[in-house]
């Protein structure tokens, strides 16, 4: 079955190039084009595409607000958003991720990378490595608004000690295999823990687990991965190894 795509880009030439690139793939079909954020929201609401390729900088309604509204549409399966930006360290990327985007690409990526990104996101995964997410969050850490209560937040309190450790390691940019090696677990067990975290925290993918961890001050810029092993602020690093 073909993956349906809406392209939201205010530059007609770029929009046409994106359509040509995507329509050349047998498993992708562009079903709509938008020249501004408001139009993108309207198309997403009416056409229910699998993925919206969203330019961040558009008139009438910017890509961040458009992403927030599209991700919030009461449809199943949810419409997923891949944001595009000119620079890989665009400060607005963080806001787009917080709005619910499942990843980002820069506009000068090769066509095959764009196609791969859409396929990955359509499959329910995130198209942004945790390490890149962490780097971006480090750059904007001062502007993230911590959630009052930190570890006392009900969402955090509902996590098991092991889930909390895994969440902190995910937020430090580690892959499932790297986390498995640190915690002496099978990668499949780590994958299960990540799945539980996604469900409990209502996150769509691990990108948003990273955002959650930073907003709740479960990790901070500059902390080494070893500091994530404590399940609470008063525990010594490594204590979590004893909780199996």
pLDDT tops 60 at residue 238: no
Q: Which two tokens stand for residue 178?
A: 């790297």
Query: What domains sit in the chain, N to C, each tagged with a CATH number?
Result: 3-127 (3.40.50.2300), 143-242 (3.40.50.2300)
| 11 φ/ψ angles, rounded to the nearest 5 degrees | -95, 115
pLDDT of res. 232 = 44
The answer to whether 188 touches 195, Cβ cutoff 8 Å, is no
String of b and e for 138-153 (b: at least 16 CB within 10 Å)?
A: eebbeebeeeeeeeeb
Q: Is the pLDDT confidence value at 91 over 90? A: no
Q: Mean pLDDT throughout 150-178? A: 82
The arithmetic mean of pLDDT across residues 93-102, rounded, is 82
- Tell me, what's the pLDDT at 208? 77
Closest by CA position to 9, among listed 53, 48, 69, 68: 53
Q: How many percent of the chain have pLDDT more than 70?
A: 77
Q: Which of 98, 103, 2, 107 is nearest to 52 (CA)?
A: 103
pLDDT 10s digits, 29-57: 999 999 999 999 999 999 999 999 999 88
Contact 53, 103 (CB under 8 A): no
| Angle, CA of 22, 113 and 86, to the nearest 5° | 90
pLDDT interval class at 138 (50, 70, 90): low
Task: Note the residue count of the chain.
Answer: 244
Could you report the per-residue pLDDT of 216-234, keeping only the tens digit for each? 878 765 555 555 555 443 3
pTM to 2 decimal places: 0.68
Q: Residue 216: its pLDDT value, please?
A: 80
Give pLDDT, residue 89: 56
DSSP reduced 3-state for 64: helix
Question: Which range has highest mean pLDDT (144-153, 187-196, 205-214, 230-239)?
Answer: 187-196
Q: How far apart (Å, rounded) are the C-alpha atoms in residues 155 and 146?
A: 14
Tell me which long-range contacts 160-165 makes (C-beta under 8 A, separation of at least 24).
161/231, 161/240, 161/243, 162/193, 162/240, 162/243, 162/244, 163/193, 163/196, 163/197, 163/200, 164/218, 164/231, 164/240, 165/228, 165/229, 165/231, 165/240, 165/243
Cis bond before residue 52 (omega within 30° of 0): no
Q: How far apart are CA 8 and CA 56, in angstroms?
A: 9
pLDDT for the residue 242: 34
DSSP string for 181-204: HHHT--HHHHHHHHHHHHHHHT-S
Which tops the pLDDT comparison, 220 or 177?
A: 177
Identify the sign of the CA torsion 182, 185, 186, 187: negative
């Amino acid at each position: 079955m073909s993956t349906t795509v809406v392209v939201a880009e205010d530059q007609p030439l770029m929009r046409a190039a994106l359509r040509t690139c995507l329509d050349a793939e047998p498993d992708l079909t562009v079903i709509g084009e938008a020249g501004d954020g408001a139009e993108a929201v309207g198309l997403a609401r009416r056409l229910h595409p699998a993925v919206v390729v969203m330019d961040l900088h558009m008139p009438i309604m910017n890509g961040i607000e458009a992403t927030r509204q599209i991700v919030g549409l009461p449809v199943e399966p949810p419409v997923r958003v891949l944001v595009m930006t000119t620079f890989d360290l665009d400060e607005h990327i963080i806001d787009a991720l917080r709005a619910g985007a499942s990843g980002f690409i820069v506009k000068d990526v090769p066509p095959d990378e764009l196609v791969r990104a859409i396929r990955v996101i359509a499959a329910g995964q995130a198209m942004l490595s945790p390490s890149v997410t962490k780097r971006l969050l480090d750059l904007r850490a001062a502007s993230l608004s911590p959630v009052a209560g930190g570890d006392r937040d009900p969402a955090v309190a509902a996590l098991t000690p092991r889930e909390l450790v895994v969440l902190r390691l995910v937020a430090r940019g580690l892959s499932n295999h790297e986390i498995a090696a640190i915690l002496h677990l099978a990668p499949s067990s780590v994958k299960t823990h990540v799945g539980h975290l996604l469900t409990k925290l209502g996150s769509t993918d691990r990108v948003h687990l990273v955002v959650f961890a930073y907003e709740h001050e479960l990790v901070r810029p500059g902390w080494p991965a070893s500091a994530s092993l404590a399940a609470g602020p008063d525990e010594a690093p490594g204590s979590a190894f004893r909780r199996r």
